[in-house]
Structure 1
Amino acid sequence: MQQLWHSFLAPLLDGLRYSTLAGYAWAHPRLLLLLPVVPLLFLLRELLAQRRPRLEVAFVHGQVRGHWSAGLRFVPDLVLALSLAFGIVALARPQRTDERIEQTGRGIDIVLAVDVSASMELGDLQPNRLEAAKRVARAFVRGRRGDRIGLVVFAGEAYSVLPPTTDYELLDEELGRLRLGMVPADGTAIGTALGVVTNRLRDSPGRSRVGILLSDGENTAGSIDPLTAAQLAHAFGLKLYTIGLGRDGTVPYGRDELGRPRYVETRLDESTMRQIAAAGEGRFFRATDERALQSVFARIDGLEKTEIRLTRYRNTHDYYRYYLYWALGLWLLWLALKNTFLTNALED
């Protein structure tokens, strides 16, 4: 008896729940549009019955009293309507699909190290270097598939904002939150930033591990020499790409008290950036405007693209039988009720 309940009766009753019906996928969902037609059929029958000749029976006023049992004559119609409705549901073929995805090929693990020091406010990239870098980095992230990407920020110190992850929406939000001054200690600690990148990637299971450093200055803070940090990263199997942001020379930097543009002298330590990339078997890129920055990320994207093949296996289970059982059971019940006192012989 218990086996009968679990294998047959329980699924029959569970199929009547709204949550169960809402959880189905339907092989022929348009057939469900026929459900409102069922009550219309009974309404049409009633309208046609009005046009048939009737046998008039006269009763003396007050001799016939209403009784609740008079409503029982609608029971056969209700049973028939439910049988038709369950039949329509069965024809629509409710299903559930179990999907299993197998991934062939392992993605790349990437960590972006973004400079948020005060010099990133310079306006040779619009509206400033940091905002331009954020826009292009976010576009780069949206173009990856299957790769885990992390985020490190640095100024006078370096912090890991996000470990390598495939949650690209979260990464996009974190990139959008980057701002000038979010690292209290000012300066440019390139060596420290590379150390944090190495810590994040050295135990990574990725087929390839890549660090991308975006900075606009020379190393002025931190206790780790950038070249030493790059060599350490290479020893752990990391590949390093360095991107030098902005132009050398006089560039705009905000406005003075009278609203006039201010200019400052700036210089990128290109030699060190090249040495870092060479030590990490990567490449150095110079981005003096946003178009060049976009080109840099496009080239890195091409160099480090990984082919990820997804194989989907679907196993579909049909549940129409349970609703067909309801339809047949209620149909047989309707036929049985037709031979009882509940049926009005004069109407039939």
Structure 2
Amino acid sequence: MIAGWINKFADAVLGPFFGGTVEIASPWWLLLIPLAIALFIWRRRRRGSSMRYSNVNLIRSGKKSAKAALYIGLAWLELIALLSLSVAASRPRSGSIQEVAYAEGVDIILSLDISGSMQALDFKPKNRIEAAKQVAAEFIQARADNPSSNDR
């Protein structure tokens, strides 16, 4: 039930971005996301002051050392890594639905003789090849309305 809800939510939220449907193969891994965030918050709150200041002016300046900034940056990177692993483990897939349609049709091949005898003026004012081209064009036009036609 929850897995179906997670798939519907992922499809509704992420589907428009990926141009198709989004399916989560193992949605239970996504439950680690709130757990990772809770762990991050808990670790940030439980840690007390790590340094004692002998000079009160250092506290008033509000400047943090590079080591403290690095510690905070690493904590955020750890959270991002846990979130990314959780999403990757859930195996999201996107794609569009494709259906194979089977239809029957008729293959028709038209061939014209272009030898010198086709230049004869049997069909005045046209020669044989021009008359054959006209008949072929009319035939193709008549087939365009046929639903089983694949003529282009």
More contact order relative to length (CA 8 Å, sep ≥ 6):
2
Q: Do both proteins adopt the same fold according to a TM-score greater than 0.5, normalized to the shorter chain?
A: no
Higher share of residues assigned strand: 1
TM-score, length of structure 2 as denominator length: 0.44
Higher share of residues assigned helix: 2
